[in-house]
């Protein structure tokens, strides 16, 4: 158990059970990082095919204006050999928008009002490898901006 010790100048010191002493500020920052890591792990557990930055950004924007889903350009990458017409119909039925189709039917780009439910449905389709997106705040699509693999490598998505 951590115990708060005496103030040392302007810094409050914290003592760990092992006898280590760190500043209260450092301890609070470590706790913040741990909470962030837990959130990232939750995103990856629940939506493993969706870029974590997209999930986080969407959650923040939904908190700001819960009654009005924000506009995003969403890019979905699918397995080779996926029936692009069936995939197009799935995306249309899921999002209400017709996607642009690129890269021989493996890269779909859709501009839409995004919700967590849409991300969950996209994540759960067998043919989807990964999805990422960018907030646009306009009615115009950004078009394709990402490559397969960007969701788990690049920051931001």
Full pLDDT tens readout for the chain, 157 residues: 444 555 545 556 666 666 677 787 788 888 889 998 999 999 999 999 999 999 999 999 999 988 889 999 999 999 999 999 988 888 888 788 899 999 999 999 999 999 999 999 999 989 999 999 999 876 655 566 666 666 655 444 4
Q: Where would I find the beta strands (DSSP E) of 16-127? A: 21-23, 71-78, 100-102, 107-113
Tally of structural domains, the chain: 2
Question: Which tokens belong to 87?
Answer: 């995939």
Strand, coil or helix: 76: strand
Q: Do 79 and 141 belong to one domain?
A: yes
In a domain? residue 53 = yes
In a domain? residue 118 = yes
Whether this model's pTM surpasses 0.85: no
The enclosing domain of 66 has a CATH number of 3.30.70
Domain that holds residue 69: 48-152
In a domain? residue 157 = no
């Amino acid at each position: 158990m951590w115990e708060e010790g005496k103030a040392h100048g302007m810094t409050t010191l914290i003592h760990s059970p092992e006898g280590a002493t760190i500043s209260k500020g450092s301890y609070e920052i470590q706790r913040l990082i741990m909470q962030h890591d837990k959130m990232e792990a939750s995103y990856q557990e629940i939506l493993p095919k969706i870029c974590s930055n997209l999930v986080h950004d969407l959650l923040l924007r939904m908190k700001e204006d819960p009654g009005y889903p924000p506009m995003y350009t969403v890019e979905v990458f699918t397995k080779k050999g996926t029936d692009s017409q069936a995939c197009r119909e799935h995306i249309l039925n899921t999002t209400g928008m017709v996607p642009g189709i690129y890269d021989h039917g493996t890269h779909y780009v859709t501009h839409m009002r995004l919700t967590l439910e849409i991300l969950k449905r996209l994540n759960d389709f067998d043919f989807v490898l990964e999805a990422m997106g960018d907030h646009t705040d306009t009615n115009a699509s950004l078009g394709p901006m990402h490559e397969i693999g960007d969701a788990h490598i690049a920051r931001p998505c």
